[in-house]
């Protein structure tokens, strides 16, 4: 039987930990990376530093270049230009089987008629790991993925979640410095996916190796990662810790892609130390911002305000306040989501629900508003 594709690729010892520089065991440094396929630029000048033992997620919409970036790191694709360093060593022109990385694919690429043991052993045999050591490593990997004793099961007799774990074990036994995951959970159902997210995160901490994880699901990215790199159209939009991306998005794209938000667009009409007034279509909006020193009166800016940072009340005395009418009301358990009509625009508002909270109803006339600290100013670049 032949594998339709090589399930894992990884390596031997050309780059081993002892030779690592002070950039650390499993660090990846990408500089000005480009990949062109005929007339498509899949990766367009990407620079990104991934620390050793970090869990970093590449997040972005379909076609933005996530898989291509991962394949470039693994050596499955060759860069058009730019450099990739692993453990401080330039691996840009080193083939996949000489890089100490291993990839877990979305489609598991297991051999269905072989046993778990045979599937996991495959990559080790390719690298001439002796039998006794193979068996020991496989036993350990199966414990790690919480399927101890599964060596003799046929892959065809496993559930989807178990198959995905075996695919991970097959990569883990190779003891790579960097494990690469390309949407490994997307074919699992929601509850299994959530369980596996937590397990993967725990596994990463236990293994102490670098995980680079690709997803287009922002909730998954926030749940699992130390840091998230948001990609758009082949380039990096922003990289940061999950709360930074959510609370301080630096572009409209990031604000929209990570969570839901309300946008305001206008021109700066006043600046006073850290406070500025934005002359927007909805009226004057007063905000505090750390970015006032990068702004001048007359500059156009955007403001993003998260739904949970907008208040509704019978009467508000915040500086940014509008009279409004409640539109759609969606009960979500711990919170209620409202569409709130202010003139001809609609705000998205979320209100925390407690047992004692009385929800607003469609057609209610109330005030809607937010404080000067509620929004994040985005420079118009």
> Of 237 and 309, which CB lies nearer to ligand ATP in the complex structure?
237
> Of 217 and 299, which CB lies nearer to ligand ATP in the complex structure?
217
> Of 42 and 277, which CB lies nearer to ligand ATP in the complex structure?
42
Q: Please list every residue from 247 through 276 that binds ligand ATP, using CB under 6 A.
A: none
How far apart are alpha carbons 310 and 21 in whole angstroms? 49
Answer yes or no whether residue 56 interacts with ligand ATP by CB under 6 A. Answer: no
307 binds, among ligand ATP, Mg ion, none (CB under 5 to 8 A by kind): none
Give me the residues that bind Mg ion (CB under 5 A), please. Answer: 67
The region of 10-18, 62-70, 326-334, 339-347 touching ligand ATP under the rule CB under 6 A is: 62-70
How far apart are alpha carbons 49 and 239 in whole angstroms? 10
Q: Please list every residue from 16 through 45 that binds ligand ATP, using CB under 6 A.
A: 37, 40, 42
> Of 67 and 218, which CB lies nearer to Mg ion in the complex structure?
67
Q: Please list every residue from 209 through 248 that binds ligand ATP, using CB under 6 A.
A: 216
Answer yes or no whether residue 107 interacts with ligand ATP by CB under 6 A. Answer: no
Q: Is the dihedral of CA 204, 208, 209, 210 positive or negative?
A: positive
**At closest approach, how far in Å is the CB of 225 from Mg ion?**
17
Answer yes or no whether residue 92 interacts with ligand ATP by CB under 6 A. Answer: no
**At closest approach, how far in Å is the CB of 66 from Mg ion?**
5
Answer yes or no whether residue 68 interacts with ligand ATP by CB under 6 A. Answer: yes
Answer yes or no whether residue 10 interacts with ligand ATP by CB under 6 A. Answer: no
The region of 65-73, 136-144, 274-282, 340-348 touching ligand ATP under the rule CB under 6 A is: 65-73
Answer yes or no whether residue 57 interacts with ligand ATP by CB under 6 A. Answer: no
List the one residue from 64, 86, 91, 124 that touches ligand ATP (CB under 6 A): 64
**At closest approach, how far in Å is the CB of 303 from ligand ATP?**
29
Answer yes or no whether residue 65 interacts with ligand ATP by CB under 6 A. Answer: yes
Contact footprint for ligand ATP (CB under 6 A)? 37, 40, 42, 60, 62-68, 216
């Amino acid at each position: 039987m032949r594998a339709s594709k090589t399930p894992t690729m990884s390596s031997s010892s050309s780059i081993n930990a002892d030779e690592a520089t002070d950039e650390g065991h499993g660090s990846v440094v990408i500089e000005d990376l480009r990949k062109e396929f005929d007339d498509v630029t899949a990766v367009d000048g990407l620079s990104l530093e991934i620390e050793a033992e970090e869990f970093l997620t590449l997040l972005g919409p379909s076609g933005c270049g996530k898989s291509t970036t991962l394949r470039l790191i693994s050596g499955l694709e060759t860069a058009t230009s730019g450099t990739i360093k692993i453990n401080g060593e330039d691996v840009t022109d080193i083939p996949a089987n000489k890089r100490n990385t291993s990839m877990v694919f979305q489609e598991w690429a297991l051999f269905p008629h072989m046993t778990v043991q045979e599937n996991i052993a495959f990559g080790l045999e390719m690298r001439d790991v002796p039998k006794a050591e193979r068996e020991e490593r496989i036993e350990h990997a199966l414990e790690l993925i919480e399927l101890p004793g599964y060596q003799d099961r046929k892959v065809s007799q496993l559930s989807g979640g178990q198959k995905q774990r075996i695919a991970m074990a097959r990569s883990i036994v190779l003891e790579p410095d960097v494990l690469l995951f390309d949407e490994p959970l997307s074919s699992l159902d929601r509850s299994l996916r959530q369980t596996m997210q937590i397990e993967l995160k725990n596994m990463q901490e236990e293994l102490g190796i670098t995980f680079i994880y690709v997803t287009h699901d922002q909730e998954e990215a926030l749940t699992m990662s130390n840091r998230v790199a948001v990609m758009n159209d082949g380039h990096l939009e922003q990289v940061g810790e999950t709360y930074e991306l959510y609370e301080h998005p630096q572009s409209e794209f990031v604000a929209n892609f990570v969570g839901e938000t309300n946008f305001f667009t206008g021109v700066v009409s006043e600046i006073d130390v850290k406070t500025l007034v934005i002359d927007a279509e909805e009226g004057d909006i007063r905000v505090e911002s750390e970015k006032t020193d990068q702004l001048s009166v007359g500059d156009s800016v955007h403001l993003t305000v998260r739904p949970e940072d907008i208040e509704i009340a019978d009467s508000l005395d915040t500086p940014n306040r509008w009279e409004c009418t409640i539109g759609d009301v969606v009960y979500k358990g711990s919170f209620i989501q409202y569409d709130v009509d202010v003139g001809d625009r609609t705000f998205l508002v979320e209100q925390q629900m407690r047992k004692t909270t009385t929800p607003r109803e469609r057609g209610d006339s109330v005030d809607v508003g937010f404080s000067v600290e509620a929004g994040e100013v985005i420079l118009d670049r």
